[in-house]
Homo-oligomer: A and B are copies of this chain.
Amino acid sequence: MQTTAEVSGSGLDLIFKYIDEQQNEFVQELKEWVAIPSDSSDPQAWDEIVRMLNVTADKIKTLGGNVELADLGSQKMPNGQSVHLPPVILAELKKDPKKPTLCIYGHVDVQPAKKEDGWTTDPYTLTEINGNLYGRGASDNKGPVLAWLHAVEAYQALKQEIPVNIKFIIEGMEEAGSNGLDTLTEQRNMTFFSDVDYIVISDNIWISKKPALTYGTRGNCYFFVEVEGQKQDMHSGVFGGSIHEAMTDLIAVLDSLVDSSGHILIPAINKAVAPLTEEEKKRYQGIEFDLEAHKKDCGVTKFLFDTKEEILQHRWRYPSLSIHGIEGAFFETGTKTVIPRKVIGKFSIRQVPNMDPSEVEKQVTEYLHKVFAERNSPNQLKVTMPISAKPWVADVSDPQFVAGRRAVQTVFGVDPDLICEGSTIPIARNFQDVTGKSIMMLPIGGADDGEHSQNEKMSRSNYIQGTKLFAAFFYELSQLPHI
């Protein structure tokens, strides 16, 4: 390979032109990736994930990357069977110690999808309609992963030197909980991650038509509150009126959690929430978000708050409590006159800085036991917390955000919004806790991509402009003062 000129503004122009010219090939390659049903929800179908990971690894190899398929061992399933986990791709391109090193995280598994769930097109056949590319994984997360690879490809095709060292960590179990990835991160912290300067994740979406950089995600404490009554399910005709019903107790306990304005009633739980700073407040004002359009999208006449700022703050930087359902009670259509023996209420509290899940667990448990004790019921209450994921928040003055902002300006001609995700992406916090590196999310998916839903899509524009964004991001990272 001949020595290539150092990339520059004009070099980027050539790269952008190349990406535009190659766009049909890039869409075709996405079509091939979408055709592999790498659904991680069903261990029986994990062969397809392995196939998808091999296709990804081969692609990285054609770009000159060294690829390791890191083994994660086996996982015990609820039925007692042991299933071997798909591996994780750890890869790196040619390394130059003078350049900063960017580690790109992505995943190539997908959520389940069936035509009969209500898809208009076959979910595993990428189909373009009015500029949108419909298919499972188009946005979450095969499209973005390919966009990263195509950005690399563009530099190489034009024989331009990529201005950063690039590593990839690509998994096939994200939608199933990233099983084993945290352990792998710890194991490779002093090796694979040791020379990494920046970790970038492109596994989320914008919140409007405007590009965005993401600096935070909420965590999640998920609770089971179980009330156990009599020996077996009973007939409400025969026993109703004589027995302390577990369901009545549970309903009362669940009703003590949150009021009709969304305020969490568990004492002290809001005390740990980081106060809203003036700088943060200002940040919310500038975000592009059409509240009226959002109401229409959601099909509601009213939100819990009236202003854009309040709504976004309560989605992103304040805790929220949702009651998801009850296990053990009658749930079918029709009627059944049962007094259920044991019922398990399920609710979760989204975590924000500086909440501490173990503290939250204590507060919730104590509170529910107190509420229950006041009922003087002979039934048994048990509170457990099967999920505990911490929030992630980055410092938006981190240089990586500067590079991200500049890359957005270069490609889209606008300043990106600084946004958060209300949902939980544990991998960001895990990377942060274990590696201590700079982490940013650089989404290219549109607000209406419908990740996890029927008719998931990415627009051709977002896919191609996103590829340019990534190429520009390489350049902007290299322009930062070397860390």
Known contacts A248-B258, A378-B301; A240 and B322 CB within 8 A of each other: yes
Stretch at the interface among A50-58, A96-104, A323-331: A323-331
A236 touches B350 (CB 8 A): yes
Residues of chain B with a CB closer than 8 A to A421's CB: 237-238
Cα separation A321 to B241 with both chains bound (whole Å)? 7
B260 touches A350 (CB 8 A): no
Q: Does A274 contact B (CB under 8 A)?
A: no
A452 to nearest B CB, angstroms?
A: 7
A231 touches B335 (CB 8 A): no
Cα separation A331 to B325 with both chains bound (whole Å)? 6
Cα separation A453 to B233 with both chains bound (whole Å)? 10
A329 touches B325 (CB 8 A): yes
B241 touches A314 (CB 8 A): yes
* Copies of this polypeptide in the complex: 2
Known contacts A299-B230, A421-B238; A329 and B324 CB within 8 A of each other: yes
> Given B237, B251, B314, B319, which contacts A255 in the complex, CB threshold below 8 Å?
B251
With both beta carbons as reference points, the residue of chain B lying nearest to A235 in the complex is identified as B423
Known contacts A299-B231, A323-B251, A378-B302; A311 and B242 CB within 8 A of each other: yes
Cα separation A432 to B260 with both chains bound (whole Å)? 47
Residues of chain B with a CB closer than 8 A to A304's CB: 241-244
B346 touches A335 (CB 8 A): yes
Cα separation A305 to B242 with both chains bound (whole Å)? 7
Residues of chain B with a CB closer than 8 A to A339's CB: 322, 324
With both beta carbons as reference points, the residue of chain B lying nearest to A234 in the complex is identified as B298
Known contacts A298-B243, A300-B230, A331-B329; A423 and B238 CB within 8 A of each other: yes
Cα separation A231 to B237 with both chains bound (whole Å)? 37
Q: Does A315 contact B (CB under 8 A)?
A: yes
Known contacts A236-B348, A304-B241; A386 and B422 CB within 8 A of each other: no
Q: Does A229 contact B (CB under 8 A)?
A: yes
A350 touches B237 (CB 8 A): yes
With both beta carbons as reference points, the residue of chain B lying nearest to A335 in the complex is identified as B222
A-B pairs with beta carbons under 8 Å apart, 21 shown: A229-B300, A230-B299, A231-B300, A235-B423, A235-B452, A236-B350, A240-B315, A241-B314, A241-B318, A242-B320, A247-B324, A248-B322, A322-B337, A324-B335, A324-B340, A325-B326, A325-B330, A325-B331, A325-B338, A326-B329, A331-B331
Closest 4 CB pairs of A and B: A237-B423, A231-B299, A241-B320, A325-B330
Show the binding face of A for B, using Cβ within 8 Å. 78, 218, 220, 222, 229-232, 234-245, 247-249, 251-252, 254-255, 258, 260, 262, 297-305, 311, 314-315, 318-327, 329-333, 335-340, 346, 348, 350, 375-378, 386-387, 421-424, 452-453
